[in-house]
Chains A and B, each alone.
Chain A
Amino acid sequence: MIARRALGVLEQLWLPVLLVVWWWFASASSTSPFFPPLQEIWGSFVSELDSGNLANNFWSSVRNIGVGLLVAIILGVAIGTLVGRSRAARTILGPYLQFARSIPQVALIPIIIGAFGITPVPKIWAISFACIWPVLLNTIDGIRAIDPAVNDMTRSYQITTRLGLMKVVLPATLPQIMAGIRVSLAIAVIVMVVSEIYGAAEGLGYFINHAKGLFKTEATWMGTLVVGVLGYALSAIFLIIEKRVLHWYHESAK
C-alpha cells in the first residue's frame, strides 16, 4: 500500500527533478548574459532574501492579491446572488455581463494607473475589477442551477429569507462559486504582475522589472521563478480549502 503510494509520488516527481538537475549542470558553465547559471539564480535568491528586499516586495504583492480578491469575492457573490435570484435580471442583463467579461482586464491597467498613480490602492482596484467577473458570473450560474425541488422545499416549509440564503442558497451555489474563485485567483496573479511592471514602486512585478533595468539577469530570473512559485502555491492552497469546504459535494457525487 505505502509502496504503491510512494511509487505514485515518484512517478510524478522524477521528470521535474531530472529537469531541474539537468538545468543546474547544463547552465553551470554558461557565459551567456541572458541565461545565467542556476547556481547564480539561487545565489541571488539567498542574498535578496537576506537583505529583506525580496520579502518586502513579496508580501506587498500578496497583500494586493489578497485584498483585491477578497473585495471581488464579496461583491461578486453579493451581486451575483441578487441578479441570480431574479429571472428577469438574469435574462435582461445576460449579454451585458458577457460583454463586460470579455473586455481584456489587462487593458484597464494603463487607464487606471494613468489616472490614479502608482500607489498600491489603484492596483487593488484593478485586481478587484478583473476578478469580480468570474465570481459574479459563476454565482449567477450556480443560483440559476439550484434545483427547483429545493426552492419548493424552502417555500413549503416557509424558510425565512435570511436563513434560506445562509443555509440553503449559498451552500448550494458554493461549488460554482469556488470554481469562479479558482479562475479569479489566476487572474489576480496576472493583473498583479502586469500592474506592478507597468507602474509601481514595490511588489514582485516591480522587482523583476527593476532587476531587468539594472541588467541583473539572475535577479530577473529569480523574481520570475518566485512569481511562478507564488502562483502555484496559491492554487495548491486553494485546492486544499476547496476540498474541505466542498467535501459533501465530492462525497455525494460518488
Chain B
Amino acid sequence: MSSVNVTRRMTRAVRIPGPDTVWYDRRIGRLLGRLAVGIIVLLLWWVSAELELMPRAILPTPLSVLLAFIGLLGSSAFWLAVAQTLSAALSGLGLALVVGVPLGLVLGLVPAAERSTRLLLDIGRSFPVIALLPVLILVLGVTFRMEVTVVFLGVLWPILLQTIYGSRRLDPVVRDTTRSYRINLGLRFSKVLLPAAAPFTMTGVRVAASIAILLSIAVEILGRTPGMGLSLGTAQLEDRPDISIAYLFAAGFLGLGLNTLLQLVEDRLLVWNARGDQAGGAGQ
C-alpha cells in the first residue's frame, strides 16, 4: 500500500520530453498561483465577516483570528493546552502500540486466530469510540486516565489491523525457512516478522496519530478535560470566536505537522525495507 506512494514520488521527479510545460509546472508559477488563491480566500472571508453574512459567533474577521492566533502563540496557557492534548494523544498511541503490535503480529501469524477474531475486529473498527465517553466518564470520571483510555480504544484498531495485514504478507517461504532452521521465536519476531510488518504498522501509526489528536480534542470538548479542546470550547462560551477559531487552526497545524513527520519516517522506513528486499532479504 505505501509502496504505491513511493513509486509515485519517484516517478514525479523524472521529466521526459513530453507535453509542453505550463506555468503551474514551474515552482514559481505554483507559488504565485497558491498565493493568489490564498489572497482571494482571505478577501472573501474578510468581506463575509464585515457584512456579517453569518453570525459573528461563527465568523469573526480574519484579522481578529490572526491576532488571536499570535496571542495564543505567546501565551503559556496555550502551550500548556497543547502539551496536555499531545500527552493524552501520544500516551494513548503508545499504549495502542504496546498492545496492538505484538497482538497483530501473532494474529497475522496464526490464521485460525485471525479468523476467530475477525468479527470482533470488524466491530471494534467500526465502533465510534467517542460514544463510549459517557460510559467511561461514569466509570473513570473526568480524568486524564479516561482521556487516554478513549484514545487507546480509538487508535488500537488501525494499528492492530495494519500490523495483522503486514504480518500476513510475510513471504511464506521466509516463514517456512525460519521455521525449518528452528530460529528461536524471539529472534523470529524481532528480526524477521517485525521488520516485514513495520511499514504497514507505520501506515497504521500515521492514521492513528491524526485520530489520536482528534479524539483527545473531542474528549476535551465534551468531557472538559484540560487541553486544546477545553480551551476552544471555553472560548466559544465566553463569546470569543476569534480565539476558538485560532485554536481550530492550531489543531489543524498540529495534526498536519505530526502527519508530515510520520510520513517522513514511514517513507524512510520503506526505503530501508525496500533496500533490504533488493539485498535479497525478506519478501513483502
Direct A/B contact, Cβ within 8 angstroms: yes
Interface set of A (CB-CB < 8 Å, partner B): 8, 11-16, 19, 34-35, 87-88, 91-93, 95-96, 98-100, 102-112, 114-116, 186, 189-190, 193-194, 197-198, 204-205, 208-209, 211-212, 217, 220-221, 223-224, 227-228, 231-232, 234-235
Query: Is A111 a contact of B256 with CB atoms below 8 Å?
Result: no
Number of residues on chain B facing chain A (CB within 8 A): 58
- Chain A residues near B33 (CB-CB < 8 A): 88, 91-92
- Not counting A12-B118, A96-B38, A197-B130, a sample of 10 additional A-B residue pairs whose C-beta atoms are within 8 angstroms of each other reads A8-B115, A13-B119, A15-B116, A15-B119, A34-B138, A88-B22, A107-B228, A110-B232, A194-B218, A228-B131
A220 touches B120 (CB 8 A): no
Q: Which residue of A15, A93, A116 has the most chain B CB atoms within 10 A of its CB atom?
A: A15
Complex contact B251–A92 (CB within 8 A): no
* Also in contact, A212 and B58, with CB within 8 A (given A99-B252, A194-B222): no
A104 B214 Cβ-Cβ under 8 A: yes
Q: Which of chain A's residues has its CB closest to B138's CB?
A: A34
From B117, B138, B214, contact of A217 by CB (8 A): B138
Task: Pick from B90-98, B163-171, B239-247, B268-276 the stretch touching chain A.
Answer: B239-247
Whether B134 lies near A98 (C-beta < 8 A) is no
Q: How far does the Cβ of A37 sit from chain B's closest Cβ, in whole Å?
A: 15
Task: Decide: A114 and B120 in contact? CB cutoff 8 A.
Answer: no
A110 lies within 8 A of B233 (CB): yes
Residue A220 contacts which of B122, B134, B241, B249 (CB distance < 8 angstroms)?
Answer: B134
A-B contact pairs, 10 of them (CB 8 A): A12-B118, A12-B119, A98-B256, A107-B251, A111-B241, A111-B248, A115-B57, A186-B128, A227-B128, A231-B128
Contact, CB under 8 Å: A92 / B128: no
CA of A108 to CA of B245, assembled, Å: 8
Interface string of B136-171 (1 = CB under 8 A from A): 011100000000000000000000000000000000
In the complex, are the beta carbons of A212 and B251 less than 8 A apart? no
Are A220 and B138 closer than 8 Å at their CB atoms? yes
CA–CA, A73 and B222, complex, Å? 27
**Cβ A227 vs Cβ B244 within 8 A:** no
Tell me the complex Cα distance, A235–B122, Å. 10
Nearest B residue (CB) for A234:
B126
Return the chain A residue nearest B248 by Cβ. Answer: A107
In the complex the two chains form, is A106's CB within 8 Å of B55's CB?
Answer: no
Note all chain A residues with C-beta closer than 8 A to B284: none
Q: Which positions 214-252 of chain B face chain A at CB distance < 8 Å?
A: 214, 217-218, 221-222, 228-229, 232-233, 236-237, 241, 244-245, 247-249, 251-252
- Nearest CB on B from A109, distance (A): 7
User: What are the 10 closest A-B residue pairs judged by CB atoms, nearest first?
Assistant: A115-B58, A103-B252, A115-B57, A212-B134, A92-B33, A227-B131, A106-B218, A102-B255, A114-B236, A102-B256
Residues of B that sit less than 8 Å from A by CB: 22, 24-25, 30, 33-34, 37-38, 41, 54-55, 57-58, 112, 115-120, 122-123, 126-128, 130-135, 137-139, 210, 213-214, 217-218, 221-222, 228-229, 232-233, 236-237, 241, 244-245, 247-249, 251-252, 255-256, 259
**Across the A-B interface, how many residue pairs have beta carbons closer than 8 Å?**
161
Q: Are B119 and A16 in contact (CB under 8 A)?
A: yes
Give A190 to B209 CA distance when docked, in angstroms: 17
Q: Are A107 and B22 in contact (CB under 8 A)?
A: no
List of A residues within 8 angstroms of B217 by Cβ: 104, 106-107
> In the complex, what distance in Å separates the CA atom of A98 from the CA atom of B263?
14
C-alpha gap A112/B232 in the complex (Å): 12
CA distance A197 to B218 in the complex (A): 11
Taking the closest CB of chain B, its distance from the CB of A207, in whole angstroms, is: 10
Decide: B236 and A224 in contact? CB cutoff 8 A: no
Please give, as numbers and ranges, the residues of chain A lying within 8 Å of B241 by CB-CB distance.
Answer: 111, 114-115
Contacting A194 at CB < 8 Å: which of B112, B130, B137? B130
Q: Which residue of B120, B123, B130, B236 contacts A193 across the interface (Cβ within 8 Å)? A: B130
Alpha-carbon distance A103/B254, docked complex (angstroms): 9
Asked if B126 and A186 sit within 8 Å, CB to CB, the answer is yes
Q: Which residues of A contact B245 (CB under 8 A)?
A: 111
Chain B residues near A209 (CB-CB < 8 A): 134
Partner of B34, one of A34, A95, A105, A189: A95
User: In the complex, what residue of chain A is closest to B122 when comparing beta carbons?
Assistant: A232
Are B244 and A111 interface neighbours, CB within 8 A? yes
The complex places the Cα of A232 from the Cα of B210 at a distance, in Å, of 22
* B55–A107 CB distance below 8 A: no
Closest to A15 in B: B116
Chain A hits for B222, CB < 8 A: 194, 197-198
Contact with B221, one of A194, A221, A231 (Cβ below 8 angstroms): A194
A105 to B232, CA, bound (A): 13
Q: Is the CB of B130 within 8 A of A111?
A: no
Which residue of A has the minimal Cβ distance to B215? A106
Docked-complex contact A102 and B134, CB < 8 angstroms: no
Report yes or no: B131 in contact with A108, Cβ–Cβ below 8 A: no
Chain B residue numbers with a CB within 8 Å of A115 are 54-55, 57-58, 241
* Complex contacts, B247 vs chain A, CB 8 Å: 107
